[in-house]
Amino acid sequence: DAGVTQSPTHLIKTRGQHVTLRCSPISGHKSVSWYQQVLGQGPQFIFQYYEKEERGRGNFPDRFSARQFPNYSSELNVNALLLGDSALYLCASSLVGLADYNEQFFGPGTRLTVL
């Protein structure tokens, strides 16, 4: 079975630009979460979507937005890019959005560099 897929793998943008990152979950998984990982830190939670509804949002500015499509794939959008947005953006797929367990499986990530 295919795992979580993300595109693109690498991206270089300049300050002020907009970026869209894409994710397809594991087949049968209905929940997608987005995380940001800067060098030397653990991933930080940005959003979770379950059945196309936003379940939760982390401590990120409104420049960050996301959505989930009927096929459960997801997009993360970041507007007005700042240098500090340079990071590895990770998408995680899980079988359920609400559960005591909620194992989350990560895709390969998109490396975003903002110049």
Residue numbers at the binding site for another protein (CB under 8 A): 31, 33, 35, 40-45, 48, 50, 55-56, 58-59, 88, 90, 92, 97-109
Residue with Cβ nearer another protein (14 or 113): 113
Close Cβ partners of 25 (under 8 Å, ≥ 6 residues apart): 4, 31, 32, 72, 73, 74, 91, 93
Residue with Cβ nearer another protein (3 or 16): 3
Task: Report DSSP state, residue 1.
Answer: -
> What would the DSSP string read from start to end of 34-88?
EEEE-TTS--EEEEEEETTEEEEE-S--TTEEEEE-TTS-EEEEE-S--GGG-EE
Residue with Cβ nearer another protein (81 or 93): 93
Given a contact cutoff of 8 angstroms between Cβ atoms, the answer to whether 3 and 26 are in contact is: yes
User: Smallest distance, Å, CB 104 to another protein?
Assistant: 6
User: Smallest distance, Å, CB 31 to another protein?
Assistant: 8
User: Smallest distance, Å, CB 102 to another protein?
Assistant: 6
Residue with Cβ nearer another protein (17 or 103): 103
User: Smallest distance, Å, CB 69 to another protein?
Assistant: 19
